[in-house]
Structures are given as C-alpha cells and as structure tokens.
Structure 1
Amino acid sequence: MSRFNRRGARPATGSPVATTGERATTHEGGAGHLRDTRSELFLLAVGNFVGTDAFYERGEQRDDRYAQLIRRLAVTDPDWCTGFLRWLRTGAHMRTASLVGAAEFTKARLEAGAAGHSRQVVDSVLQRADEPGEFLGYWMSTYGRKLPKPVKRGVADAVQRLYDERSLLRYDTDSKGYRFGDVLNLVHPSPAADKPWQGDLFQHALDRRMKRDESIPATLPVLRASRMLTSLPVQERRAYVRDPTLVTSPGGLAGAGFTWERLAGWLQGPMDAAAWEAVIPSMGLMALARNLRNFDEAGVSDAVAARICARFADPEQVARSRMFPFRWWAAYKHAPSLRWGHALEQALGHSLANVPRLTGSTLILVDRSPSMFPGFGFSTPNRSDITLAEQAAVFGSALALRAEKPTLVEFGGDSREIDVPRGGSVLRLIERYGQIGGTDIPTAVKKHGAAHDRIVIVTDEQSRPGWLPSNMSGHGGMRETEIDALVPKDVPVYLWNMAGYKAGAMPSGTGNRHAMGGLTDQAFRAVPLLEAGRDATWPWEDRRA
C-alpha cells in the first residue's frame, strides 16, 4: 500500500511562530504549549498596548514580560531583534511597544558590553516628530538622565528626519515633558545637509522653549503665517474661516499649519460647519474617520461629505494612513449617518487587502468568550471601546466573505453558525455576532470541524479543557482533548492569536499547524504560501512587507 506517494499529499512546510515541545496550561486550565523566545515576543508585541491590562494579565506583568524577552534577544539574536523592532513600528504600527522595545534593546546591549545595532534601532522606531521626546521620557524615567551615545545619536538621526515647521506647531506644546528645545539640548543634532532651513528651525525651537522667540526668520514661512493668524482678534476669526479665499491662501489655515484641534482652540468656540469645511481638506484619514459624528452634528454639507468618502475609497490613501482595520469598524459603529457607510466598507476592504480568497471549504471559528470583551475591572487592550472580540470578528468576517465555501462560527463555551451572504458586507456581518460565555476551542472544533479543507481560529487561545467520552478515548471515563488531536494531520489549522499570552492552545511552526498574530492583515500573507508548499517567514523578511 502506498503511504507517501498519494494524490493531494502536501510538502511539509514551516512557519516562524513555533512551539518548543514544552507543555503548560492556559489561564483557563486547558492544555497549553510554550513557544520559543522569538515567537512569544512576536505574539505579545503585536497584540500588546504598553501599560494596559489584559483579561488574564495586569499591564505591568505584560510589560515586564515584554521587556525581559527584548533584553534577552538583544544580546543573543540582535539581527533578528533589530528587524523585528523596525517592523513593529513601520509594519505593525505599534508605536509605544516599539519605543519601549528600542530602549530595552539598547540598555541590554550596553550592559552586556555589546557594540553596534542600538543607534540604528533607536532611529528606526522614531517615526513621528513627538516620538524623540517620548523616547527620552521613557529612558530618563526608567534609567536616569545620563544618555549613552547610541541613544543620543539615534535620537539625533531621527530629529534630522522629523523636525520641521508643521511638526513643531503640532507637537511642541506646553503639555509635553520634553519640548523640541529640550530634545535639541539633550542630543545636539546637526541640521540636515539637504534642509538649509533646519538650523533656523532648531534655533527657533530653543528660543521658543525659553520664551524668547519674538522674531521668526524668513526661512520659516509656516511659522510666520501661524503667528499672523494667532494675532488676529478673536471676534474676526469666524469671518476669516468663512472666507474661502483667505482660508486657501498661502498664509491661510493649511499654510499656517493649522490642525483641526488647533483650529478649535483658535476659534475659542464650537466648530460649526464652516469651520470643519475649512480644515477638512488638510485632515488625515484617521482624523476624518474619528470625527464623522462631529461632521454630522455640525451639518457639514453633502458635497464635502462626498469628498471625504472619495478619500476613504482610495486604496493608496488608506494604505498611507496605516489605520488598523478595526478603526474602520469603529468609525462605522459610531457614525450616526448612513452617508458614510459604503465608503467605510470600501476603506475596510482596502485595509484588508491581504486577506486571501481561499478555495475549497474553510471553517472559521471566532472567539466570543468573556476574555475577548472588557470586564472584571480590566480595560480592553487597545484602549478603545473596540474589543478583541470585535477585532476578531473583523478578520473572521473578511475571511468568510472571500472564501469559496465558508463555515463561519462564533464560539465560547457553546457555538453558533453565522450565515455568510454572498457578496455581503463585512461591516453588516460583524453586527450579527453575539457573546457566548466560557472558552472551549476543542469542543467547537469537534462540533464543526468535519469535512473542511482547513480551519482558521481567531482567539486569545485561553481555552478550557475539551473532553471526549470514554468510547472515543478507548479508556474509562473522560479524557482531555486538544485541537491537534481532533483535526487530521493533513488538514491545516491556522490559529490567529489576538492577545499574546504565554501558553498557546496547539503546537505550531511545522506540518499543518501554524500560529499567526497581529492587528493588521499582514499575517494572512502566510496562508497562501503555506498552502502552496512554501515556508512562511517573519513579516519583515517578506519582500512584500
């Protein structure tokens, strides 16, 4: 009998998130599997908002675990850790975690007497002009005022890239512990060679910090325009906003670096339709999506709303916004008017461009247990009212609507199938989910997993034990079962981890058992590779990432 040369036999594949073979228990007492250091760090980082409690872990516990993993790999595997931290900021869009990671990476290498990498890592994670100050704030509050050379040089490199007139107006405020002038005094950057105006900007930032910025050089026209508008009498400002020729002039709102937040303070009163319509053209997609309710309440015109919708429907603008997919669901959830609905659906679709169109039959299990919702005194890990459960529903629904033969199931202690309409809306499909007590992944797999070509599970992995009756186990009584034991070895199982807890619910990294993670759609890129018989790599090692 042929055992190996069979039709449909898949080549063995590997994926980066790997278990070690060591066993543990989940937070709910089910059988768990420990991952290697890189895998544990990866899954924790892509789902962790620093300083924020999760359902089963306090924020300080997660932060300490994250720091210890970074410090270990900074010494034992600095090349991998360097690529990871750069990607964490620029690919996974995790801002605070990448800054903290770069600081802990640098500290660990300094303590070990290891040279190299640190300056480049610090520079790579600072991608917004307020982040040099954020990084220095973390370093000094954790390790004191002495700044090592790699920190100074990495921050100075970032300052050259990031500091300009508009960023100074936006981020150099009295609320910051470290102003632009403070950062300049601490790291002493040289002006960039290709920015002849930057020396004047640096000097102005220093003068501004000392409140001696009476004059502004002619090389800084945005700051000069801003000062002119600031000097305008308050009673004349609304008339100014209502005059389109003034608003769009070189010294107008956009030319003076006005954000919507600054405009609201400048008017010293409510933002009416005219005020919003004056500043909307210069707003980014994140700001637009977060203010849809304000636009409706102020009475922004349908013509302006149509222009906003056109921007939401533009895949290039959506990609540049770096918004998590769940942010588009949040915008839809909170927008009172239906005029935004179709454009938000398009934007969500663009943000999920990497979700594959899987052929054959696919079981998609979406965790709706209590640990995926806020409660028990813990805040939700993304510091918003969009829970892990809703985030999981975004990914599960998108996958189901693109799959050839999907079976979409929400589960907890029990489970329920959700009808997937052909050509349906991801946003509308998310509204069909409920909440189910308990977490029992094996029972959901056992109930729904038969005769599928693959299984995708979107979960925090903290399952209760699953159980089989004695006539199935071959032994008396009942015995605990696991996902791996319930699914034939030739059926792939892709487990999408949403929370980054230490113990996983199944082995992963080889054969047909693979774990993924993150709040973006990038992890989906691994699925077509694995099903084509190719090994999947870390996202920053993928040329498309």
Structure 2
Amino acid sequence: MARFNTRTATAQPVSPVTTTGRTLPTYEGGRGRERDARSELFLLAVSNFVTQHTFYESGTDRDDRFARLVRDLAVSDPEWTAGLLGWLRGEGSMRTASLVGAAEYVQARLAAGATGGPSNRQVVDSVLQRPDEPGELLAYWTSVYGRAVPKPVKRGVADAVRRLYHAKSLLKYDTAAKGYRFGDILNLVHAAPDPDKPWQGELFRYALDRRHHPDTAVPPASLPVLTAHRELMALPVAERRAVVTAPGGAERLAAAGITWEALAGWLQGPMDKAAWEAVIPSMGAMALVRNLRNFDEAGVCDEVAAQVAAKISDPQQVARSRQFPFRYLAAHRHAPSLRWSWPLEQALGHSLANVPALPGRTLVLVDRSGSMFWTQSRDRSELTRADAAAIFGTALALRAADADLVQFGTTSANVEFRKGESVLKILERFGDLGGTDTTDAVRRHYKKHDRVLIVTDEQYAPNRHGDPTAQIPAHVPVYTWNLEGYRAGHGPSGSGNRHVFAGLSDSAFRMVSLIERGGDGRWPWLA
C-alpha cells in the first residue's frame, strides 16, 4: 500500500520569513522564536521609520540592528540584499530605510573588499527615486562616515541625478534649507548631462550658478519654467496677491513651478481662500490629502472642493501616490468635514484593493495591546500600530467570504461589522485592551475556521498553553502580519502552515492567496 504517493498528496507550502528553531523570549516574556537574518532584516526594514522609537526598542538600538543586519547580509548575500533595498524604496514605499540601507551596503562591501553580485553603484542608483534623495543619501554618508565619499557612491548618485534633475525639481527641492544643494551635489559627483536631454547641460550650469552666484545667475531661455519663476520672484510683494486672483493666475503659478509649499512664502502672507484655490489645480493627490483641514479653514468653495474630492478618490491617483492606508485615516481624523468623508473612504478602499478575498471561514485577530499604541513616527502623525492593525484586519474581514473579526489584548472581543460597511465606521468600535494574551484570544475564538490571520507586533505574554500558533491544528494555515519587526516571533514560520508576512504592499497581500493555491510564497521582489 502506498503511504506517500497518493492522489491526495500535496506539497507543503513554504514562505520566506523563516524561524531557525531556536527560542528567545519576547519582550513580554513569552517563549518566542528566533528568525534567520534575512527574515529579521525584512520584517524590520518594512516597519522601520529611521530614528523612530518603538514601545520596546529605542530608535538608536533599532537603527543599529538594522545597519548591522544590512552590513552582514551585504557581504554574505549581496543579491538578496540588493533586491530588498530596491524593492523597499519602490513597491515597499520605505524611503529613509532604503537610503540608509544602500549606504550601509556599500560601506560593508568596500570594507570587506567584496566582489561579485550587484554593484555598489547599481544599489545606490536603485534607491534614489525622488530629486531630493541624492542629497539625503550624501548627507547620511558624510554624517556617519566622513566627507570622503567613495567612487561607487558618487557614480550611483550621478546616475540618479541624470534621471531625476529637471527644472521643476530644481525649484521645489533646491532650497537654502538643504545642506546639500543641487550645485553641491553636481560639484561632488561630476554628473554628465544625459545625452537624450539636451536641456540638462544648461540646467546643471544654472544649478551651479544659483548655488555659487545667486545674485547674478540667469536661467537659460531653453527652460521657460525657470524664466517664469524668476519673473514672479522679481514682482514687488504688494503686487503678488493680484497674480493669484487674476484670471489665469492658477495657470501662471503652475507654469512658474510655484508649489503650495512655496506660495505662502512668495505671498509673504496668509494662505487665504484665493491662494488655495489658485494652487490646488497643480497639487498632487497626497498634498491635497494633507491639506484638507486647511482648505476648510480657508473656506475653499464647493466647486474647487469637488475637484479635490475627485482627485484624492481617483484609483489611479491613489495607486500612483503609493501611500499606506493609514494616511487616509489620519486625514479623516484631522479633517472631519463631511465633504471629505466619502472621498477619503473611497481612497482608503483603493489603497486596500489588493487585500485578498479569501474563501471559506476566516478568523482575523487584531492586536490592541498597549505596545501597539505607540505612534508610528514622531513627525508623521499621531497614528499608531494599533490603527494600522485595525485598518488591515478590518479590510481582511470585509473582503473574506465569511469572517470573524476579533480585537485582543488582556481580554478579547468580537468586533461586529456588516458586509459593505464603511471601514472608517468599523474602526470606531476598536478599543485599547491592555496586555498581550494572544494565546488566550486564539483559544477563545478559534472555532474550526479554515485559516487564522493575526495582525500584531508578536510580543505576547507567557501562557501555560504555549505560543498562539500552537493552539491551531497543524493542517490549518496561520498567517501572522508583523507590524513592528522585533527580533522574536510568537511562533514558528516558513513551513508547516505557519507563515509570517509584513508590509502593506500589493505583493505582500498576494502571498496568502499564492500559498493557498499550492504555490510557495517568495520574497516580494522575486515573486
């Protein structure tokens, strides 16, 4: 009789975040599981706002752990590490962590004399996706490793400069507040103009002139936006507000590259109704989202507000902005006007469009313990990991065919919802539940579900029954969505129907469906 080669035999699915088999305590004293270096770095990278303190870990300790992991893996596994950094800045939408990671990657490989694999130059170029980022990376390098910048860094920055520098980026990002101006960067890296951009040579010369001779620098005629900008800047202050209110004022401001950030300074006065209405047509979707409260306070008219609402709720604009879902929750909390509620609800829904629609019965457990109520970042918003967990858990429950949504801490309770109900409305039913008894929550609420998803920081408290994932039969998949990136996990992962993911990207969402179709979950940049 065949024991293994039967018609019902199936391959055991695996996923990339893997535990080593060794144990270590969670911060709450539970019996945690150690992850391998690649898994630890991935989970930390997708949740790490650099210099950010977390509930259990200081910003310095967290940054040191991140840099150490990058340096080690840059030497031992350069292909994987380079792939992570490029994905992190792109689909992962983690800007600062990717810049820091690229610098540490180069430093480690130069120090080790490592050869082969993706070049240092390529890695630097891959993480620079916005015109101000070459200066950010150089500022990090010189602040940590001194003013001697190695050639691979210079060449990677030069490659990015050719891609990113244009007239409007000069006006927006080349400001006196920056330590590295565009001219400083060009002097340092000696970037040659792109031969396919005949105007770029004159742009580079003008960037150098305005850095070193600002009073006499003259914009080239081949770049009319710079000329238009210079003309507006030359206007007497008393005449500037008339430009805003004149017919065609919005078009003139846009043609001169006057951004909303620069307009108040140019006017040297308040951003009133006329000023906002003139600059709104040229603002990007996320700039609009950040300023909804300002629009209300200025009294922006309903017609312009309707244009704002249409743009911020447009699915293509949401996809292009690559913002995390909790940005829309922050906007909803800070701009409570009813005219923004539905557009923000739509935008939030679009940002979660790739959450998997799971068949069968699903148990979704959302961590609402004290450690989850630490703010995401000191300078970004007042939102917490608990907010992010609630958004994602609610979206999973709404999309699933049949789901039970549970919040847990010291205690646990069902969160009631109806199909098609507003995510923002459901979020109002979540609370602060104290400690982290994940094991008890699983034992209380698991009722022969087809799968269990736990959205958490994984720092569970000791429980006599063992770790949370051990409470579920081995044949039932358990998916943990890690939102903090601490070293210890709350259970094994990588095989045996136990999987850990992180991040809120499209590729992360796809992993559950991929695994349940019998495929192997891969790192997002390899999927």
Q: Aligning the two structures, in what range does the TM-score lie when normalised by the shorter sequence?
A: over 0.9
Tell me how large the CA RMSD over aligned residues is: 1.7
Q: State the distance in 1 between where 2:267 and 2:185 align.
A: 31
Shift in alpha-carbon separation, 1:143–1:223, aligned structure 2, 3 A: same
Q: State the distance in 1 between where 2:517 and 2:152 align.
A: 43
Amino acid at match of 2:402: K
Bigger Cα displacement from structure 2, 519-528 vs 11-20: 519-528
The answer to whether the 8 A contact 2:362-2:400 is kept is yes
Q: State the distance in 2 between where 1:143 and 1:245 align.
A: 50
Query: Which residue of structure 2 aligns with residue 239 of structure 1?
Result: 242
**Aligned match for 1:122, one of 112, 121, 124:** 124
Displacement, 1:114?
1.7
The 5-angstrom pairing of residues 353-364 of structure 1 reads 353-364=353-364
Q: State the distance in 1 between where 2:432 and 2:5 align.
A: 45
Displacement, 1:332?
1.2
Q: State the distance in 2 between where 1:413 and 1:144 align.
A: 48
Shift in alpha-carbon separation, 1:281–1:383, aligned structure 2, 3 A: closer
**Aligned match for 1:467, one of 461, 464, 467:** 464
Displacement, 1:193?
0.6
Query: Which residue of structure 2 aligns with residue 436 of structure 1?
Result: 433
Query: Which residue of structure 2 aligns with residue 533 of structure 1?
Result: 518
Bigger Cα displacement from structure 2, 150-159 vs 212-221: 212-221
SS of alignment partner, residue 138 of structure 2 = helix
The answer to whether the 8 A contact 1:52-1:58 is kept is yes
Bigger Cα displacement from structure 2, 306-315 vs 441-450: 306-315
The answer to whether the 8 A contact 2:19-2:494 is kept is yes
Shift in alpha-carbon separation, 1:198–1:488, aligned structure 2, 3 A: same
Query: Which residue of structure 2 aligns with residue 226 of structure 1?
Result: 229
Q: State the distance in 2 between where 1:314 and 1:496 align.
A: 28
Shift in alpha-carbon separation, 1:261–1:381, aligned structure 2, 3 A: closer
The 5-angstrom pairing of residues 26-45 of structure 1 reads 26-45=26-45
Bigger Cα displacement from structure 2, 164-173 vs 114-123: 114-123
Shift in alpha-carbon separation, 1:205–1:380, aligned structure 2, 3 A: closer
The answer to whether the 8 A contact 2:502-2:508 is kept is yes
The 5-angstrom pairing of residues 200-215 of structure 1 reads 200-212=202-214, 213-215=216-218
The 5-angstrom pairing of residues 95-106 of structure 1 reads 95-106=95-106
* Counterpart check, 1:482 vs 2:467: yes
Amino acid at match of 1:304: V
The answer to whether the 8 A contact 2:250-2:281 is kept is no
Displacement, 1:52?
1.0
Amino acid at match of 1:134: E
The answer to whether the 8 A contact 2:49-2:97 is kept is yes
Q: State the distance in 2 between where 1:10 and 1:463 align.
A: 32
Cα deviation code 1:364-406 (max 9, x no counterpart): 01001110012xxx87478420101001111001111111111
Displacement, 1:155?
0.4
Shift in alpha-carbon separation, 1:246–1:296, aligned structure 2, 3 A: closer
Amino acid at match of 1:227: R
The answer to whether the 8 A contact 1:351-1:521 is kept is no
Query: Which residue of structure 2 aligns with residue 419 of structure 1?
Result: 416
SS of alignment partner, residue 410 of structure 1 = strand
Q: State the distance in 1 between where 2:367 and 2:213 align.
A: 54
The answer to whether the 8 A contact 1:47-1:519 is kept is no
Percent identity for Structure 1 against Structure 2: 62
Equivalent residue pairs, number: 524
Shift in alpha-carbon separation, 1:295–1:163, aligned structure 2, 3 A: same
Q: State the distance in 1 between where 2:265 and 2:123 align.
A: 37
Displacement, 1:303?
1.2
SS of alignment partner, residue 161 of structure 1 = helix
SS of alignment partner, residue 446 of structure 1 = helix
Displacement, 1:214?
3.2
Bigger Cα displacement from structure 2, 209-218 vs 225-234: 209-218
Amino acid at match of 1:152: K
Q: Structure 1 runs of 4+ off > 3 angstroms?
A: 1-11, 378-383, 519-522
Shift in alpha-carbon separation, 1:10–1:274, aligned structure 2, 3 A: farther
SS of alignment partner, residue 382 of structure 2 = coil
Unaligned runs of 5+ in 2: none
Q: Which TM-score applies when normalising by structure 2? A: 0.97
Unaligned runs of 5+ in 1: 469-480
Displacement, 1:285?
1.0
Q: Which TM-score applies when normalising by structure 1? A: 0.93
Cα deviation code 1:268-324 (max 9, x no counterpart): 111111111111111111110010001111111111111111112221111111111
Shift in alpha-carbon separation, 1:483–1:379, aligned structure 2, 3 A: closer
